[in-house]
């Protein structure tokens, strides 16, 4: 069943790769049309310092094993990085597959210095990511950035910083506001956790911190009415009679103020949390789902 272009993809499970799959993925990188993407592949590999050491270590493994000089820790290091290299090879191959689907304009962008700078930054963050989900976010962003001019490379680099800085708890709030715009803090809490929680609890502290992080980062904001040309209107003042002030502070899980994604936040979801691959030069109506 085809996925809607703007449907947020759920978090990925653990990626399992066999040695044959790793070998096939690595062998596919320089072959056929992908020879045109040599600069792209080199930019990605040069951003990950352990790749060269892994290849050299693997080449020396057999000869040292014959002499009984390989300890178990060294074997474990090679095996762990071999698995990581397999993930890298598959993600590189997936990006190039997407680019080939888009066409010649995207293939030319693979060799532009501006885009290669994005690739280097992206794969440094890919390597430092502590979850498969974050690596998927980087892969989708690099793929979509090759296939569209809807965002500048400066914005793409900002999105990479968001992937690096934010955690799953932040991304879960972004998903809620994408699917349920105009949610209050209470509405977001119910979508994420359900039930009630004490105002002075650690859970409430964490949720308040996450909302503050995303607000300060200009990913989300409280809803404001705008004029026809996009200027924000001031909220009307609420007159409170003297002597009627509440004894308690405003709840951090209030059901009053509504939140929404900023325009940058919506573009982040489109580029990073969906597999929509728009064509270069096409408008938002020319997107298509990439399965």
Distance CA 41, CA 63 (A): 29
**pLDDT-derived band at 219, boundaries 50, 70, 90:** very high
**Alpha-carbon span 48 to 129, nearest angstrom:** 12
Residue 153's CB is within 10 A of a number of other CB atoms, namely 15
Q: 175-179, 214-218, 249-253, 264-268: which has the minimum mean pLDDT?
A: 249-253
Query: Degrees (nearest 5) of the Cα angle 84, 44, 149?
Result: 125
Which tens digit of pLDDT belongs to each residue from 39-66? 888 888 778 776 655 555 554 555 555 4
Per-residue model confidence as pLDDT tens digits over 95-152: 888 888 877 777 778 878 889 999 999 999 999 998 999 999 999 999 888 876 677 8
d(CA 238, CA 133): 44
Kindly state the tokens that stand for 91: 């993600």
CATH of 169-232+250-267, one of 3.90.1150.10, 3.30.70.20, 3.50.50.60, 1.10.10.10: 1.10.10.10
Question: Looking at residue 98, what is its pLDDT?
Answer: 83
DSSP element (H, E) containing 222:
strand 220-222
**DSSP code, position 268:** H
**What is the distance between the alpha carbons of residues 49 and 66, in angstroms, rounded to a whole number?**
28
Where are the domains positioned within the chain?
19-154+269-286, 169-232+250-267
The per-residue pLDDT for range 60-90, each reduced to its tens digit, is 555 555 445 555 655 665 666 677 778 888 8
pLDDT exceeds 50 at position 236: yes
């Amino acid at each position: 069943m085809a996925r809607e272009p703007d449907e947020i993809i759920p978090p990925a499970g653990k990626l399992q790769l066999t040695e044959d799959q790793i070998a096939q993925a690595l062998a596919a990188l320089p072959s056929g049309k992908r020879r045109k993407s040599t600069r792209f592949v080199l930019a990605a590999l040069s951003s990950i310092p352990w790749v060269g050491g892994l290849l050299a270590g693997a080449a020396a493994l057999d000869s040292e094993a014959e002499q009984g000089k390989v300890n178990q820790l060294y074997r474990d290091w090679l095996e762990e990085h071999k698995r990581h290299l397999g993930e890298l090879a598959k993600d590189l191959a997936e990006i190039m597959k997407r680019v080939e689907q888009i066409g010649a304009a995207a293939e030319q962008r693979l060799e532009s210095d501006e885009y290669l700078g994005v690739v280097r930054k992206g794969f440094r963050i890919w390597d430092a990511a502590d979850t498969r989900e974050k690596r998927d976010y980087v892969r989708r962003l690099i793929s979509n950035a090759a296939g569209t001019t809807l965002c500048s490379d400066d914005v793409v680099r900002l999105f990479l910083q968001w992937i690096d800085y934010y955690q799953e708890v932040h991304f879960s709030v972004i998903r809620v506001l994408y699917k349920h715009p105009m949610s209050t803090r209470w509405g977001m809490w119910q979508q994420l956790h359900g039930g009630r929680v004490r105002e002075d609890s650690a859970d409430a502290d964490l949720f308040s911190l996450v909302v503050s992080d995303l607000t300060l980062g200009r990913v989300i904001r409280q809803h404001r009415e705008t004029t026809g040309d996009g200027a924000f209107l001031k909220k009307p003042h609420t007159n409170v009679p003297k002597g009627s002030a509440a004894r308690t502070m405003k709840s951090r899980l209030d059901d009053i103020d509504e939140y929404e994604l900023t325009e940058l936040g919506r573009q982040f979801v489109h580029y990073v949390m969906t597999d929509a691959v728009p064509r270069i030069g096409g408008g938002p109506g020319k997107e298509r789902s990439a399965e």
